[in-house]
Structure 1
Amino acid sequence: MRHALLSLALLFLAGAAGAAPAYPTGDLSLGKATAKIHVEEYASLSCNHCAHFNNEVFPAFKAKYIDTGKVRYTLHEFLTEPVNVAAIGFITARCAGADKYYQVVDSLFRRQAEIFDTGQLRPVLLDVAKTAGLTEAQVTACVADTGNREALEARVDAGVARGVDSTPFFFVNGVKVDGVDLADLDKAIAAAGKKTR
């Protein structure tokens, strides 16, 4: 994977790049920071099951748990084939800033089928990036930045170290969830809630 990430800039955009935008490296979460329940998802932007979860399940999950302050949700980045699609997407989402990160991720999941049907990542990514306030030059610089690629690689390695071997993959308060639908998360959240009382 290291070799693949090191060649991302060549795969995506050629030419000179300016300064890359600020790149938040820590966990980016949604919801109340003091919520007793922490739901973590490991997902890949090139995973169609992850796109299904984001597009069809996550809105109801967010309304039920995140928007009500019951859950803090963290998306952890993971890479599945084609790795360049997932990696370039996540790096760009980070460069959009912490306040636009989830907007970019959601847009890329919703346009994943378009990327795969056309075989064209670049125009879709640049269009999504533009809606988040990034220019083409900023995306180029972001993807080309070695530090950004190394930071992504470190986050993926951390997931592997936790036993993540597929996507989507969930933990609720550190306990692996069996299943990937809302009913599975409901059950895991209810069990975690009993332990925090």
Structure 2
Amino acid sequence: MSTLKPAVNNDDHIEGSLSAPVEIVEFGDYQCPYCRQAYPIIKDIQVLFEGQIKFIFRNFPLAELHQYAFLAAQSAEAAALQGKFWEMHDAIYENQARLSDDLFLELAGGLGLDLEKFKQDVASAEVKEKVEGDFESGVRSGVNGTPSFYVNGEKFDGGAIDLRNMLNESAE
């Protein structure tokens, strides 16, 4: 069984109650079609189990397969520096069919970000290191594709629908 390395920490983007008993970590690639399919299911899980789960997203861009995956991850992290990680995360998945060099700036503008700061941050070493650090965490944790999920620190063997079914069963 693969375990999450490192454990969830202050460098992570966490949505939901910090004291929630169930911690779900997704390693995702913004250009991955399977991650796009998982996105609304994760949103559904967050609504169904509000207060019971905290959701963490770590970047795992498969750059050799997906032309815009790394830039998308950098864009989400640059938005995070202006307090808008989750808004950019959602906007990228909701516009996955339109991924292009120009899309990220358009999304940043739509989120009301400071575009000059956004452009500088996307290109910064700090943002690149965050994305690479998440990717390295995935490698160390045994991620072999996206999306990969970890529940309470243990690799979950299945996709987002399996995850929802497991949570439903344990809630009964």
Match status 1:46 vs 2:28: no
Structure 2 residue ranges without an equivalent (≥5): 1-9
Work out the CA distance in 2 between the residues paired with 1:64 and 1:74. 17
Q: Secondary structure at the match of 1:122?
A: coil
Match of 2:157 among 178, 182, 192: 178
Deviations 1:112-143 (A, max 9, x none): 1122xxxxx12211111112222442232112
Work out the CA distance in 2 between the residues paired with 1:39 and 1:59. 12
TM-score normalised per structure 1:
0.73
Deviation at 1:69, TM superposition (A): 0.2
Q: Secondary structure at the match of 1:58?
A: helix
Question: Which structure has greater helix proportion?
Answer: 1
Matched with 2:139 is: 160
Work out the CA distance in 2 between the residues paired with 1:77 and 1:189. 27
Matched with 1:151 is: 130
The structure with the largest alpha-carbon Rg is: 1
Deviations 1:78-121 (A, max 9, x none): 01144551222222222223641111011111111122xxxxx1
Matched with 2:7 is: none
Deviation at 1:165, TM superposition (A): 1.0
Matched with 2:120 is: 141
Deviation at 1:46, TM superposition (A): 1.3
Return structure 1 stretches of 4+ with deviation > 4 angstroms. 188-191
Matched with 2:77 is: 94
Match of 1:113 among 74, 78, 97: 97
Q: Secondary structure at the match of 1:96?
A: helix
Paired letter, 1:76:
R
Contact 1:32 1:72 in 2 (8 A): yes
Match of 1:33 among 18, 22, 32: 18
Match of 2:107 among 128, 153, 157: 128
- Tell me how many residue pairs correspond in the alignment: 161
Matched with 1:73 is: 55
